[in-house]
Amino acid sequence: MESLQFFATSWLSPDLMLLTALGTFLGIYVGAIPGLSVTMAVSILISFTFAWDINNALCLMVGIYMGGVYGGSRTAILLNIPGAPAAIATALDGYPLAKKGMAGQAIGLSTVMSVVGGFVGIFVLAVAAPLVSDFALAFQPRDYMMLGILGIMLVGSLSGESLAKGMFAGALGMLIGTVGLDPLTAEERFTFGHVELWEGIHPVAVMIGLFGLAESLEQLHHLDKAIIKQKVSRIVPSWKDVKRFLPLSLQTSSIGVIIGALPGTGGEIAALMAYDHAKRVSKKPEVPFGQGAKEGLIAAESSNNAAVGGAFIPMLTLGIPGDAVTAVFIGALFIHGLNPGPLLLETKPDMFWFMVGTLTMANIFLLIFGLTGIKIFSKLIQCPKGILIPVIFVLSIVGAYSINNSVADIWWMLGFGVLGYFMKLYGYQVGPVILGVILSRLIDENWRRAIIAEREDLGAFFAGIFASPLSLILLSAIMLILLSKVSFIKEWVGRIARS
Amino acid sequence: MHETQSKAPGELFFSLILLLVSCVLFWQAYQIDEFSSLKSPGAFPMAAAAVMFVTSSITFYNTAVKHFRVDGLAKKRISIMPLPVVIILATLLAFAVVVESVGFLITAYVFLFITIKFLYQSGFLKTAALSLAVLAVIYVVFRLVFQVVLPEGIVPEREIIAWFESLFK
Amino acid sequence: MINKIKSTLAILSIAASPVFADYPEKDIQGIIQWGAGGSTDTVMRSIAPHVEDELGTDIVMINRTGGVGAIATKYVYAQKADGYTLLMGAENPQMYKVLGLGEIDYGDMVPISILARGTPIFVAQNDAPYNNMREFVEYVQQNPGEVRTGMTGNGGLTSIVLAMLDSQVKLDLTRVPYNGDGPALTALQSGTIDVMSTVLGAAIDHVRAGRMKVIGLMDNSENALVPGVEPITEDFPGLSNYLPWGPFFGVFVKQGTPEEAVIKLQDAFRKAATNEDFVNIMTNRGYTMMNLSGDEASSFLDKYKSVSSWLVYDAGYAKHSPADFDIPRPESN
């Protein structure tokens, strides 16, 4: 009963309600603009809300987080520039929908599914937080590595017409991900002696270049082409549609919660893995994946919002951040005089339920703000290309610069923009590159950690996998997908079945 | 998706470059730690570069074969570098070169003016006004709301802001 | 040409401004060496509002990560020495020279304030068969290679603490690398590693919650936050040369900054660092308040540099000898 009272704290105070609403609203725009990240916005808020009551500050921050994760989908759908890495998977099918004049519908559907995902995340946080965080702690380096491999197999589905080109792109991405001082040994990799390269190439710079800039450059070929008329009559998805896609979105949301709760992975990996899952389980999408399949959009959007609730699980139960944003939340709680450690749940149960309550409220505001104003947003891309394209260029530059306040990131963004332009021209997909960049460190670091922990004994490494049910499940999943994907094995199995 | 079935000019050249880049990167990866051990920091980059090398070789071979087969399709050629792309790329490069010394405000304004004038072909005054409006929105959002300190260059922005604030004190 | 325009504009704006007050007359930029949510970031963001009150101006905080803090250090060094760009950092630059990471360290800066320092401790899994450093050392000697410890990169806290221990007794530990003590402490709870040396503040709550145990305190006196844990000098008196030692947080400006600005900044930070809220936050996190400036700060920085550089060099993973940079060996007291 007490928890209910804590849960309702933010619901009973008009001030807190207003702040949550404001946060969610702002968050949508923070998320939508590439280069402005939720992490950044929340850390600015720390100084800004320093003298405030902690509840007020948290309402604003939670709103920004919730809205921000969702907001990335807006620009991903409308302009093919994911507002944040978590929205990369959204762009894969969302942008093709906008090209067909269905931007309004795509945003409507992604809003509803984000909210569904958000609720799944919050629900798991509320009822099973200690359980899930124990589960998340059970993940060993080898399990993270296999999770990364599971993710990289998505290259197979993102390759388009040529698997060789897709694999090239994926491997290139992995290599880009290793640039910089190796975080484990501080060995320089591909830095060519430049200190500026020590930190590596930021995935967001690669992302803005490959998606936003390359796309805009390509658009210059079609300046004379008429602007696509956006249908904005049916924005709210029909109940029938929601019902039809609900099972899928519940599945992908569960993926989102788990990946979000793992301390080493966040929303961007969740969305990509959920996308892969959707592609595997949707036997008959209305349109193929990559050309505007609603299933792909749903998977990406429900899972990355579910990851929000997931990321709070280890943070609120153990004081271990589930992702970069929750790390800043921990800092904020410290500054406000709380100790967000494993004792928080015992000493301040009100904080836990207050967070759950505020997240719930932010999620509801998300539905409201997400479904209003879509018309204006979709009209935005109907603005003449001669104005829109220059604006995208400036936004890309500012976005790249603001990642780290560095001109070097502008150069990377431009470089990858030009590379992406030629890749697209010659039939390479850019998706696998960014996939590789995101998963590179996860695989590289954890592989080495796993093998070092076993003192470089491969036998012990495999023995470890076979001794742990979790590792075995992951290994079987990888094997199954491999078997189902490799066509010659498929043929072979088919031949055996026939004979 | 039949566009790519025909040979785009430069495709063979592009795949050759990718192949060469893969070789260079493999060499670089090898240099990190040679073939010392499974846990070496060079192991993973080397594996990635090896995949790049194999796949780019396949692509190069395929493209070369296609190159000879579809040489008659010259008419279907698409221009890979139409004039707008060249001009825009040049202005983008110029932007990146001067932004730090000249400052964001001036560079971005000039960039917007040139590109909007060129792509939208509106009148002089309209272009100037449009660019100003766009820049104002971007500046307010990034610099004032989210405190991203864009390169100031020759514009003493902080002094101006301080002066502006002092007017209201 | 550009400079001419720049100075003309600057003169214009100054002429136009009705009041030409003394320093500070505009916003100050605080360049943070580490990313949002890290401990340096948190500490700096919690003191900044108090400093703003003292100075009556805004401090715009900017995270410039990269090169273990070298990017931010280089950036501040490249700015004008006018007191409008502060470097907000941790201990790392003091090791740049011997590790070959950069040319500039805090010796090229004026310390505004050394805010606080941390105390290194050893934590272990609850069911580990050792409860103090003596038992730990014996166990490792009997089971070489069996015990896994987390590492956070050469020159990082764990590497220096292990080098200190190494200077007294050789231990065969399996060293599993992590990107920071946060992930390593998580791995300790997952059972991936058995032991971790970390700063007290990072582990204290996990210890209080009974999720891990403290087996050693790298200091020459007991600490109130971990009562009953013997200081390491009880078992290894040889370490008293090096201790007390710990990572620290400090604020710096470029050398050559006008005296007036330096004094104003030092005063502001000194007052801000005594603010009750800030002190509470810091002590709760297990940091020891220092609040040093001027000569005291410089001698603290020198001692840190000398101890850490020679330890790292003797342990064999420095690129250059500290002697190349005239860094003296720590004197035995």
Please identify, among C184, C217, C241, the residue that sits at the C-terminal boundary of a domain.
C241
Closest by CA position to A62, among listed A309, A371, A287:
A309
Out of A43, A141, A343, name the one closest to residue C41 (CB). Answer: A43
What residues in B contact A427, CB-CB < 8 Å? 4
Query: What's the pLDDT score for residue A56?
Result: 92
**Which of C44, C175, C186, C194 is the best substitution to test chain A (most A C-beta atoms within 10 A)?**
C186
Q: How far apart are CA A316 and CA A331, in angstroms?
A: 13
Q: Residues B15, B53: one domain?
A: yes
Q: Residues B116, B131: one domain?
A: yes
ipTM of the complex: 0.88
Give mean pLDDT, residues A216-221. 87
Residue C49 to residue A51, Cβ atoms within 8 A: yes
Q: Residues B97, B157: one domain?
A: yes
Query: Percent of chain C beyond pLDDT 70?
Result: 92
Is A191 inside any structural domain?
A: yes
B·C CB contacts under 8 A: 42
Residue B141 DSSP one-character state: I
Please identify, among B30, B50, B76, the residue that sits at the C-terminal boundary of a domain.
B76
Q: How far apart are CA C46 and CA C50, in angstroms?
A: 8
What residues in A contact B1, CB-CB < 8 Å? 160-161
Q: Residues B87, B17: one domain?
A: no
Q: What range does the domain containing A86 cover?
A: 2-453
Query: What's the pLDDT score for residue B63?
Result: 85
Residue B166 to residue C19, Cβ atoms within 8 A: yes
Mean pLDDT, all residues of chain B: 83
Nearest chain B residue to A171, by CA: B48
B92 pLDDT tier (thresholds 50, 70, 90): very high
* Weakest mean pLDDT among A42-56, A81-95, A479-493, C1-15: C1-15
Residue C13 to residue B156, Cβ atoms within 8 A: yes
Could you give the dihedral angle defined by the CA atoms of residues A406, A411, A417 and A419, in that order, rounded to the nearest 10 degrees? -140
What residues in A contact C69, CB-CB < 8 Å? none
Contact by Cβ (8 Å): C318, C312: yes
Q: What range does the domain containing C282 cover?
A: 2-117+247-325
Q: Is the pLDDT of residue A21 over 90?
A: yes
> What CATH number is given to the structural domain containing C183?
3.40.190.10
Residue C6 to residue B154, Cβ atoms within 8 A: yes
B78 pLDDT tier (thresholds 50, 70, 90): low
* Weakest mean pLDDT among A120-129, A295-304, A326-335: A326-335
What residues in A contact C281, CB-CB < 8 Å? 334-335, 337
Give mean pLDDT, residues A51-60. 90
Q: What is the pLDDT of residues C45-102, one digit of tens each?
A: 889 999 999 998 889 888 887 777 888 898 898 888 889 999 999 988 888 888 887 7
Residue at token pair 């709210």: A236
Domain count, chain C: 2
Q: Is the pLDDT of residue B73 over 50?
A: no
Q: Residues B95, B162: one domain?
A: yes
Q: What is the pLDDT of residues A67-112, one digit of tens each?
A: 999 999 998 998 888 888 899 999 999 999 988 888 888 999 999 9
Contact by Cβ (8 Å): A443, A146: no
Query: What's the pLDDT score for residue B4?
Result: 42
Residue C2 to residue B156, Cβ atoms within 8 A: no
A8 pLDDT tier (thresholds 50, 70, 90): confident
Q: What is the pLDDT of residues C270-328, one digit of tens each?
A: 999 999 989 988 888 888 899 999 899 999 999 999 988 898 888 887 888 888 888 88
C309 token code pair: 């550089």
Out of A47, A263, A329, name the one closest to residue C48 (CB). Answer: A47
Going by C-beta distance under 8 Å and a sequence separation of 6 or more, which residues neighbour residue A419? A209, A210, A214
What residues in C contact A141, CB-CB < 8 Å? 187, 192
Is C8 inside any structural domain?
A: yes
Query: What's the pLDDT score for residue B41?
Result: 85
Residue at token pair 């290259």: A155
What residues in A contact B10, CB-CB < 8 Å? 426
Q: How far apart are CA C331 and CA A406, in angstroms?
A: 42
Q: Residues B113, B158: one domain?
A: yes
Query: What's the pLDDT score for residue C2?
Result: 52
φ/ψ region of A49 (left if φ > 0, alpha if ψ in -120 to 50, else beta) reads alpha
More confident of the two residues A194 and A132: A132
Q: Residues B53, B123: one domain?
A: no
Closest by CA position to A90, among listed A222, A358, A348, A270:
A270
φ/ψ region of C83 (left if φ > 0, alpha if ψ in -120 to 50, else beta) reads left
Q: How far apart are CA C218 and CA C229, in angstroms?
A: 10
Instruction: Tell me the CA end-to-end span of chain B in Å, nearest whole number.
Output: 63
Q: What is the pLDDT of residues B95-130, one digit of tens each?
A: 999 998 999 999 999 999 999 999 888 889 999 999
Q: What is the pLDDT of residues A393-422, one digit of tens each?
A: 999 999 899 887 888 899 999 999 999 999
Domain count, chain B: 2
Q: What is the pLDDT of residues B134-165, one digit of tens each?
A: 999 999 888 888 878 888 888 888 788 878 87
Out of A39, A50, A341, name the one closest to residue C205 (CB). Answer: A341
Query: What's the pLDDT score for residue B72?
Result: 46
Is A490 inside any structural domain?
A: no
Query: Chains contacting A with at least 3 CB pairs below 8 Å?
Result: B, C
Residue B101 to residue C29, Cβ atoms within 8 A: no
Residue A211 DSSP one-character state: I
Give mean pLDDT, residues A466-472. 92
Q: Is the pLDDT of residue A114 over 80?
A: yes
Instruction: Tell me the CA end-to-end span of chain A in Å, nearest whole number.
Output: 65
Query: What's the pLDDT score for residue C14?
Result: 45
Is C78 inside any structural domain?
A: yes
Nearest chain A residue to C145, by CA: A455
Is C128 inside any structural domain?
A: yes
Mean pLDDT, all residues of chain C: 86
Q: Residues B120, B162: one domain?
A: yes
Is A496 inside any structural domain?
A: no
Q: What is the pLDDT of residues A160-216, one digit of tens each?
A: 778 889 999 999 999 999 998 787 777 788 888 777 777 788 889 999 999 989 988
Query: What's the pLDDT score for residue A284?
Result: 83
A468 backbone dihedrals φ, ψ, rounded to 5°:
-115, 125
Residue A410 to residue B96, Cβ atoms within 8 A: yes
A443 pLDDT tier (thresholds 50, 70, 90): very high
What residues in A contact B150, CB-CB < 8 Å? 398, 401-402
Q: Residues C187, C229: one domain?
A: yes
Q: Is the pLDDT of residue B77 over 70?
A: no
Is C331 inside any structural domain?
A: no
Out of C192, C206, C285, name the one closest to residue A334 (CB). Answer: C285
Domain count, chain A: 1
Q: Residues B64, B90: one domain?
A: no
Give mean pLDDT, residues A244-270. 92
Please identify, among B15, B45, B76, the residue that sits at the C-terminal boundary of a domain.
B76
Furthest CA-CA distance within chain C: 77
Is C332 inside any structural domain?
A: no
C24 cis-preceded (ω within 30 degrees of 0) = yes
Query: Percent of chain C beyond pLDDT 90?
Result: 37
Residue B111 to residue A394, Cβ atoms within 8 A: yes
Please identify, among C219, C241, C263, the residue that sits at the C-terminal boundary of a domain.
C241
A146 pLDDT tier (thresholds 50, 70, 90): very high
Q: Residue C3 burial (CB < 10 Å; 0-12/13-18/19+)?
A: exposed
> Residue C110: which H helix or E strand, with range?
strand C109-117
Q: Residues B128, B52: one domain?
A: no
> Residue A310: which H helix or E strand, with range?
helix A294-318
Q: Which long-range contacts (CB under 8 A, 24 or more apart) does C127-136 make?
A: C128/C194, C128/C195, C128/C213, C128/C215, C130/C215, C131/C213, C131/C215, C132/C215, C132/C216, C132/C229, C132/C230, C132/C235, C133/C215, C133/C216, C133/C230, C133/C232, C133/C235, C133/C236, C134/C235, C135/C215, C136/C195, C136/C215, C136/C216
CA distance to A151, A437, C37, C263, per residue, from A442 (Å): 10, 10, 20, 47
Residue C182 to residue A320, Cβ atoms within 8 A: yes
Q: Residues B88, B36: one domain?
A: no
Contact by Cβ (8 Å): A482, A490: no
Residue C26 to residue B159, Cβ atoms within 8 A: yes
Give mean pLDDT, residues A301-311. 95
Residue A334 to residue C42, Cβ atoms within 8 A: yes
Closest by CA position to A31, among listed A79, A85, A92:
A85
Query: What's the pLDDT score for residue A124?
Result: 96
Going by C-beta distance under 8 Å and a sequence separation of 6 or more, which residues neighbour residue C21? none
Is C333 inside any structural domain?
A: no
Give mean pLDDT, residues C5-31. 61
Please identify, among B76, B109, B132, the residue that sits at the C-terminal boundary of a domain.
B76
Q: Residues C159, C261: one domain?
A: no
Q: How far apart are CA A457 and CA A475, in angstroms?
A: 19
Q: Which long-range contacts (CB under 8 A, 24 or more apart) does C126-129 make?
A: C126/C210, C126/C211, C126/C212, C126/C213, C128/C194, C128/C195, C128/C213, C128/C215
Query: What's the pLDDT score for residue B167?
Result: 78
Q: Residues B95, B160: one domain?
A: yes
> What CATH number is given to the structural domain containing C55?
3.40.190.150
Going by C-beta distance under 8 Å and a sequence separation of 6 or more, which residues neighbour residue B42? A187, A189, B29, B30, B31, B32, B33, B34, B36
Query: What's the pLDDT score for residue B11?
Result: 83
Out of C2, C17, C29, name the one closest to residue B101 (CB). Answer: C2
Q: How far apart are CA A85 and CA A403, in angstroms?
A: 12
Is the sign of the CA dihedral A187, A188, A193, A194 positive or negative?
Answer: negative
Q: What range does the domain containing B40 cover?
A: 3-76
Mean pLDDT, all residues of chain A: 88
Closest by CA position to A204, among listed A44, A31, A78:
A31
- Looking at the complex, report in whole angstroms how far the Cα of residue C35 sits from the nearest Cα belonging to chain B: 15
Half-sphere exposure of C323 (CA within 13 A, CB side): 2
Which residue type sits at A408? Answer: A
What residues in A contact C148, CB-CB < 8 Å? 453
Q: How many other CB atoms sit within 10 Å of the CB of residue A456?
A: 14
Query: What's the pLDDT score for residue C205?
Result: 84
Q: How far apart are CA B40 and CA C154, in angstroms?
A: 15
Please identify, among C214, C241, C268, the residue that sits at the C-terminal boundary of a domain.
C241
Give mean pLDDT, residues A119-138. 92
